[in-house]
Chains A and B, each alone.
Chain A
Amino acid sequence: MREASRDKLKAFLTLLPSMILIGVFVYGFIGNTIWTSMTDWGGMGALALEPEKNFIGLENYIDLFTGFLGGGFRQDLVNAVYYSVLLLAGAVGLGMFIAILLDQKPRGEDVLRTIFLYPMSLSFIVSGTIWRWLLAPQGGVNVLPTYFGFKPLTFSWLSSQSATLVFNWQDLLRILIYIAAFVLILVGLFLLRKDQGRAIKRWLVPGILLGAFVWLFGGIIPDALFMEEEHGFNLATLGIIMATIWQYSGYTMALYLAGFNGISQDLRDAAMLDGASQFGYYRFVAIPMLKPITISAVIILSHISLKMFDLIFAMTGPDNAETGHPALTMYLTTFRANDFARGAAIAIVLFLIAAMFIVPYLVGQYRQRGRR
């Protein structure tokens, strides 16, 4: 018993320095940023030795989401959502596809693996510059057809000004409730087979009611803004999404390939013996077994897409509503416009979104371990 407690003490003392350092430099600074975001630090005397800071509560946040000057930020936020969704779908899907192809053990598999993984070793600034040239309006991809005697393309990958899936920010609350209703119904349908009564009572009925309520009485719900403001999926972001997928699909490929190799040959043989096709094997055996890998890929990629900065900076520059990103806006607000409080508020918004991805994962992991 004594021996054990001494070991515990030793372990604690060994961990203590890093606990203190992380406590100060991670959590302390997060706390400080939250505090800064609730002050009015900015404007004329922002850079004085002792700048004047007053507590103003959530005003910065309210301003960002509903203020007149926050329109750029809101578009950036919408862009970030599209970046995340498309990057996840693209990089995970393409990575998995390449991994499955390489899992067939073609000749020179190791060379191919290196080739596919290589883009990840480039810095975003370098690959961003290359892709900017490739996607330039009068160069790169657009002149490719001329080598085969066709007319050049005119698609402006990085500077298109048209948008699809446009919605009005005024309707934000309504849209959020729709999404909530959709999620409720989805969960309900998912649970329908397991526990019919509970699924209907807890999930399906509230979901349908909520959706119907907004559909019928949406007018009661207040507008988020006093004027129309349209945001959507800008076609100019396509180029950036392509570059990111190119850079990160090799990484997910490596993750999946390692997973596929970890599955024992016996299992595969057994599946084949039972008459599974190649497709069936991957669909019903291999990919479900790699769920942890999929989850970690999603988490890593989602936080990469949330802090995307240098790639956009290199490809389309800092002031570009079509392809903006909250991380860029945060930097420019803080260090160019000297508006430290608002910059901190943007940082906290990004932090909360990232937490939305990661906290459920951590909780799930923790519970799993507790069960064991």
Chain B
Amino acid sequence: MKNAFAKLMIVFAAALLIGAPQAVQASDLKGDLEIFSWWAGDEGPALAALIDIYKKENPGVNVINATVTGGSGVNAKAVLKTRMLGGEPPDSFQVHAGQELIGTWVKADRMEDLTPLFKEMGWMEVFPEGLIKLIGTDKGIWSVPVNIHRSNVMWYVPANLKKWGVEAPKTWDDFFAAADKLKAAGVTPLALAQNWTANHLWESVALASMGADNWDALWAGKLPFDSAEGVKAWELFGKVLQYTNADASSLSWQQATDMVLDGRAAFNIMGDWAAGYMTTTKKLVPGEGYGWIASPGTTGEFMFLADSFGLPKGAPHRDNAIAWLKVLGSKEGSDTFNPLKGSISARTDTDLSKYNGYLQSAAADFGKDRVVGSLAHGVAANETFMGGFATIMEMFLKTKSPDAAAKACAQLAKKSGI
């Protein structure tokens, strides 16, 4: 018995001696790291590139890529909820930055404060101040943003516009003037897809209708939804809807984008993942094959959404997860991930030469525009509001009653604590 113990000690010492030099080269983290996300398909390679960087730095860690597919994380979020409620959190999970995280998981006291990490890595200086405000509360900072997407972009094909003799509209009045001309030519002025893209359109229209200050006041609970400004936003939205295609609810956003590319529709308002789709999948050159402009009435405003990763309390491999977050926030990680994903980096010191023409222009706007949070993609409001808003949108698409929709929004805001 004693002998066995001595042998064990010798083996242990030997292992330490052999192991020591390795620890100098790379971190000595061991065990698993489970990353929970909904990035598959087009977005899979970007995530894989990040995991490659992580593996190079931490060869001892076994990375488990737990992806649950489904657009904007519908299925992933349901799986995540059952896991968290069952007391089995992943080490780190993807979430839309902002209220979707704060109103759900932070309010439930399920997340760790990342302020120390932000300070240690010097991220307070490299991320824009406005962004840090939106991903944090007075109690801390809750997630590491990996990318920035812009939501208020209007897409078109320059050659087609020239053919029809219209220009990309700067305001909604310009749009209505152009739209009548387009309708006469048998072209759908604005391509729309299934209902969540209507939410997406609504936020751009509402921002144009009420302006950035009112928009922020709305989500801070200072401007009621059934105020004159709120009703006016719904009125404008109803007017815009008259110029969209009737079969919207059975199209995906890609199909709506295709309508613009085919020349069946003139414009489409969609987030800038549409640029990724047109550049990567459709092989079009930014600026020639497709053009873009801030959605009408929102020039100088940058409505953003961001994917980010957080650290749940009780993560089984906390150290590994923190190393993962460090990769996500680093310049190298950010500049590897974003050109592949088709988004811009959240850091201000990004290497712009790695990005294509559209992304460079978006990065320039992000640096100088007024940044506001998106509703449809989780920045502005919590999940209770977002879930209810989808129902209100259904009602509005059917009844087209601005008053009822604005009142319903006000009730919903009360219920979800805005």
> For residue B107, which residue of chain A has the nearest CB?
A44
B397 to chain A, nearest CB (A): 7
Check B391–A317 contact: CB distance below 8 A. Answer: no
In whole angstroms, how far apart are the Cα atoms of A227 and B404 in the complex? 10
Check B386–A337 contact: CB distance below 8 A. Answer: yes
Chain A residue numbers with a CB within 8 Å of B398 are: 75, 161, 321-322
| A136 on interface, CB distance cutoff 8 Å | yes
A200 to chain B, nearest CB (A): 45
Chain A residue numbers with a CB within 8 Å of B392 are: 69
In whole angstroms, how far apart are the Cα atoms of A263 and B250 in the complex? 47
Chain B, 46-82, CB within 8 A of any chain A CB: 74, 77-78, 81
Q: How does the 8 Å CB contact mask read for A330-343 relative to B, with 1 for contact and 0 for none?
A: 01110111110000
B80 to chain A, nearest CB (A): 10
In whole angstroms, how far apart are the Cα atoms of A316 and B248 in the complex? 11
Check A336–B195 contact: CB distance below 8 A. Answer: no
Q: How does the 8 Å CB contact mask read for B107-137 relative to A, with 1 for contact and 0 for none?
A: 1111000000000000000000000000000
Chain B residue numbers with a CB within 8 Å of A42 are: 384
| A152 on interface, CB distance cutoff 8 Å | no
Q: Is the interface of A mostly helix, strand, loop or mixed?
A: loop
B257 to chain A, nearest CB (A): 15
Check A335–B394 contact: CB distance below 8 A. Answer: no
Chain A residue numbers with a CB within 8 Å of B417 are: 43-44
Check A68–B411 contact: CB distance below 8 A. Answer: yes
In whole angstroms, how far apart are the Cα atoms of A73 and B398 in the complex? 14
Chain A, 184-237, CB within 8 A of any chain B CB: 227, 230, 236
Check A44–B416 contact: CB distance below 8 A. Answer: yes
Q: A137-B247, A156-B250, A320-B195 are in contact. Are A47 and B391 (CB under 8 A)?
A: no
Chain B residue numbers with a CB within 8 Å of A320 are: 194-195, 249, 394
Chain B, 245-287, CB within 8 A of any chain A CB: 246-250
In whole angstroms, how far apart are the Cα atoms of A51 and B105 in the complex? 12
Check B390–A319 contact: CB distance below 8 A. Answer: yes
Q: How does the 8 Å CB contact mask read for B222-263 relative to A, with 1 for contact and 0 for none?
A: 000000000000000000000000111110000000000000
Check A47–B108 contact: CB distance below 8 A. Answer: yes
Query: B411: which of A69, A319, A322, A339 is its contact (CB, 8 Å)?
Result: A69
In whole angstroms, how far apart are the Cα atoms of A83 and B393 in the complex? 23
Check B384–A319 contact: CB distance below 8 A. Answer: no
Chain A residue numbers with a CB within 8 Å of B78 are: 331, 335-336
Chain A residue numbers with a CB within 8 Å of B397 are: 161, 321
Query: B384: which of A44, A316, A329 is its contact (CB, 8 Å)?
Result: A44
| B196 on interface, CB distance cutoff 8 Å | yes
Chain B, 396-418, CB within 8 A of any chain A CB: 397-399, 404, 407-408, 411-412, 415-417
Chain A, 141-156, CB within 8 A of any chain B CB: 156
Check B74–A336 contact: CB distance below 8 A. Answer: yes
Chain B residue numbers with a CB within 8 Å of A337 are: 383-384, 386-388
| B35 on interface, CB distance cutoff 8 Å | no
> For residue A135, which residue of chain B has the nearest CB?
B250
Query: B250: which of A43, A49, A227, A316 is its contact (CB, 8 Å)?
Result: A316
Chain B residue numbers with a CB within 8 Å of A73 are: 391
- Interface range on chain A (Cβ under 8 Å from partner): 35 or more
| B171 on interface, CB distance cutoff 8 Å | no
Chain A residue numbers with a CB within 8 Å of B336 are: none
> For residue A333, which residue of chain B has the nearest CB?
B387
Query: A319: which of B246, B247, B394, B415 is its contact (CB, 8 Å)?
Result: B394
Chain A residue numbers with a CB within 8 Å of B404 are: 227
Chain A, 123-138, CB within 8 A of any chain B CB: 132, 135-138
In whole angstroms, how far apart are the Cα atoms of A331 and B390 in the complex? 13
Check B408–A44 contact: CB distance below 8 A. Answer: no
A72 to chain B, nearest CB (A): 4
Query: B104: which of A47, A317, A331 is its contact (CB, 8 Å)?
Result: A47
Query: B246: which of A135, A159, A324 is its contact (CB, 8 Å)?
Result: A159
| A102 on interface, CB distance cutoff 8 Å | no
Check B246–A161 contact: CB distance below 8 A. Answer: yes
Check B388–A69 contact: CB distance below 8 A. Answer: yes
A267 to chain B, nearest CB (A): 50
Q: A43-B416, A335-B77, A336-B78 are in contact. Are A317 and B249 (CB under 8 A)?
A: yes
| A45 on interface, CB distance cutoff 8 Å | yes
| A253 on interface, CB distance cutoff 8 Å | no
Q: A43-B415, A44-B417 are in contact. Are A324 and B394 (CB under 8 A)?
A: yes
In whole angstroms, how far apart are the Cα atoms of A68 and B403 in the complex? 12
Check B386–A319 contact: CB distance below 8 A. Answer: no
In whole angstroms, how far apart are the Cα atoms of A257 and B85 in the complex? 48
In whole angstroms, how far apart are the Cα atoms of A135 and B407 in the complex? 36
Check A336–B395 contact: CB distance below 8 A. Answer: no
| B345 on interface, CB distance cutoff 8 Å | no
| B103 on interface, CB distance cutoff 8 Å | yes
> For residue A338, which residue of chain B has the nearest CB?
B383
| B323 on interface, CB distance cutoff 8 Å | no
Chain B residue numbers with a CB within 8 Å of A319 are: 194-196, 390-391, 393-394
| B84 on interface, CB distance cutoff 8 Å | yes
Give chain A's interface residues, CB within 8 Å of chain B. Answer: 42-49, 51, 68-69, 71-73, 75, 132, 135-138, 156, 158-159, 161, 227, 230, 236, 316-322, 324, 329, 331-333, 335-339
| 24 A-B residue pairs with CB within 8 Å | A44-B103, A45-B109, A51-B108, A69-B412, A69-B415, A71-B408, A72-B395, A73-B391, A156-B247, A158-B249, A159-B248, A227-B404, A230-B399, A317-B195, A318-B195, A319-B390, A320-B195, A322-B398, A329-B391, A331-B78, A335-B77, A336-B78, A337-B386, A339-B384
| Further contacts, 7 of them, CB under 8 A, given A319-B393, A336-B78 | A44-B382, A51-B108, A72-B395, A132-B250, A317-B195, A333-B387, A338-B387
> Top 9 A-B pairs ranked by shortest CB distance?
A337-B387, A321-B394, A137-B247, A319-B195, A48-B108, A335-B78, A72-B391, A47-B108, A159-B250
